[in-house]
Structure 1
Amino acid sequence: MTDTPARLLNLLSLLQTPREWPGSELAERLRVSPRTIRRDIDRLRDLGYPVEASRGAIGGYRLVAGAAMPPLLLDDEEAVAIAVGLRAGAGHAIEGVEEAAVRALAKLEQVLPSRLRHRVATLQNATIPLTRGDGATVTPATLTTLAAAVTAHERLRFGYRAGDGTQTKRQVEPYRLVSTGHRWYLVAYDLTREDWRTFRVDRVADPFATGARFTPRELPPGGAARLLSHSTSGRQAELDVDVTFEAPAEFVTARLPAHLVPSPTGPDTCRLSARSADSVEWLALRLALVDCEFTVHGPDALASYVSALAARLTRAAPAQG
């Protein structure tokens, strides 16, 4: 192998496998001399890759952790596996991971060959649908388009459906994507309305970057979090949720969104006391999915909806003969 750049990439790919490689084996794999391997190792070190060498009869080379994250070389199967994993992380309420997963997914999908994008989409659709807790669906393509525009400070156009069903066209300067645990929101400056707005991402349709760059504006006091809090609190009154569960706190916590955390009241019981801006319909469904006995103490609207849902499900079940 006489093409030095290609050989270095192949060498780096081998070294990124978590094992120690004898110089003779690397030379055999790449069809070069051990002396060439030593020179290539020095070139990688000059490029900032921390390659460690051990001496002795069974000594060899391995890539170790350095001060910075080096570029990774992935084969097709590894790239597909990572993309699917990132989509799952972006689509589910894993606190502290959703936004980072979307940023990483946007970078990866930007460079994925079309044949791998098709494989990722096929596998994703067959195994892990990107859905929110209330049934609203967010496509990975929408998330990655928005994330890329936020990072590049590039204006966006998209269709938007309001809560009452009104359809509008928007042109915005996107500032940040925010996950609230079961929904994604885009915080942006609306150029038509000349004001800051928040948009539910599951209501965004056909977003595309216009190519026009912008200089980020100064956010109002309190930043994106305050904008989102003010926007969502105006749309949905907060509820004081009070529910007891006939199951250990660890069991219930693992089955509820990150913003709903019960406290133990015994070895096999716990109680959830929390303020939530979620709808009673969504809360009722999430409580039912915990898969244990529970009692709703408040609010009355939630208790009534759970009772009506239970009756509806009972009527839907076939009679047992």
Structure 2
Amino acid sequence: MNRSNAKDRLDRLEQLTAILKSEDALTTKTIAAELNVSERTLFRDIGVLRERGLPIEADKGRGGGIKLHRNWGAGRLSLENQEMIDLLISLAIAESMGPTLFMGNINTVRHKLMASFSPKQKDKIHQLRQRIHIGEQASPDVLQSFSMKKHETNATIETLHTAFLFNQRLSIVYHDFHDQETQREIEAHYLYLGFPVWYLLAWDHLRNDVRIFRYDRIKKADILPQEFTLRPLKDFNAILTKQNVSTL
């Protein structure tokens, strides 16, 4: 094996290790496709990793599931609670946006980050992916009225993200299109991006109905003790169809 081929294999083994650490169970076909190798080559690489002490369980039968032994433990990132919340949501957002100019290696990044998360944190990321949606770019009218002043919004956004992640009800002060201020109690079910404007798809207890709230118009947010059960996205289809979010 020449030096170039040896380096390629070492890189591939590192990628394979990250993939196995980041997921529960994947098929050989899925992993081989991601690594751009044959399943036969994949099983040879698995043999090498086993020799290095990685406890890999592989089933060559139907489906060809591969996973690490359930008692295997990965090293964990040492992060503060808010840092972990921001990282979980940012990772889910990046994946929801799909391939972009500066995120060509998102799969590799995800596998390496996921390898450092606990099983509970991994489950949370999988759930978050389904709750973050990317739409059309904001219209000129929206951009004209859009304003996010960092020093004013950091604490509010942290509160919104925490409530979103842990399914907790929120009390917010909201300024509508006419700059009328109202106090609302809401459940933040989904996030929607009409770049660069973020929206909450929420259940509004004041209106007893689904509503859309622009992030930059939420002036204050407090977490309430009540938790909520996630509503299906179809509950919000009517309001998304009725109103063009990119113009709100």
Q: TM-score, normalized by length of structure 2?
A: 0.43
Q: Which has the higher contact order (CA 8 A, sep 6+)?
A: 2
- Rg: which structure is higher? 1
